[in-house]
Amino acid sequence: MQESMFKGWGFFKWLLNIVIVLCTVYLLSLFLNLTFAIGYVVMLIIHEAGHVIAARTYGATVSFGGFTPFGAYITITNETSVKENAIIAISGPLCGLLTTVVYFILCYITRSQNFLWLSFFTGVVSLMNLLPLNPFDGGKVIAATFLYFPLVFIPLLGYGIYYFISSQLWLALVCALIIAYIIYDVIRMRNNNHIELMFQFARSSKVMIFFAYLMILLVLAGMIGAMAFDYGPQLLPRFNHLQLPQDLIPYFIREWLSI
């Protein structure tokens, strides 16, 4: 029988998580509305549920770490192989993709812009989780399959350095830092895999997991791109006049002060 995910939770941990959830809902309600705020919390729960279901399928002992101001997390307290880690990791974004689709269907049925925002935002968050670097879910998938895959982004980032070096130096520096982190992360994953006794599993399994990863990534990117192209003004109706990113923070400060 599986242990409760909340084993070891005391009164103060329950209280802290309730406060974090209520504060998250309150702040999002101020900037957007209550529907979006609740939908955001539901998105987090579904994402973590995907990890939990996959982990328990492998008999892993899972505990819910709790909510944070930026999301939620689980911890696996017993040892799992890198193959199992990859499948557990990819299950979260897969549930995120399904949530993106469900929110978009609700938008189509109800004609509510709230569900359009939720669909787009859930897709963006899930896509970010698929970044092939640690500590994202995508990093755990890549570590178990084709750990050199992140290197394909270096030429693109190198072009970004060339493009921004004369106009936006800080963006060029960001691209350079990302390149450095990609190289570091790939080397670290390679060294870890050399000492990982449970790393060996069939190449066909690696290909299938990596293919599933790419399909989820491409579908999410396609949905986000399609929504941005077709519903851009509805997604960000109040941001159209801004020259991002330099005007974004002052804009939110003005919005906060005007509430």
Report the range of poorest mean pLDDT among 40-49, 59-68, 113-122, 156-165.
59-68
pLDDT of residue 255: 47
Residue 174 above 60 pLDDT? Answer: yes
**Rounded mean pLDDT of 127-155?**
90
Distance CA 71, CA 65 (A): 11
pLDDT of residue 94: 94
Distance CA 27, CA 134 (A): 29
- Residue 53 in tokens: 């279901």
Residue 9 above 70 pLDDT? Answer: yes
pLDDT of residue 248: 45
The per-residue b/e assignment along 161-187, b for 16 or more CB within 10 angstroms, e otherwise, is beebeeeeeeebeebbebbeebeebbe
Residue 243 above 60 pLDDT? Answer: no
Give the pLDDT band of residue 197 (cuts 50, 70, 90). very low
Report the range of poorest mean pLDDT among 43-47, 86-90, 111-115, 197-201.
197-201
pLDDT of residue 199: 56
Residue 4 above 80 pLDDT? Answer: no
What percent of the chain lies above the pLDDT cut of 90? 30
**pTM tops 0.85, yes or no:** no
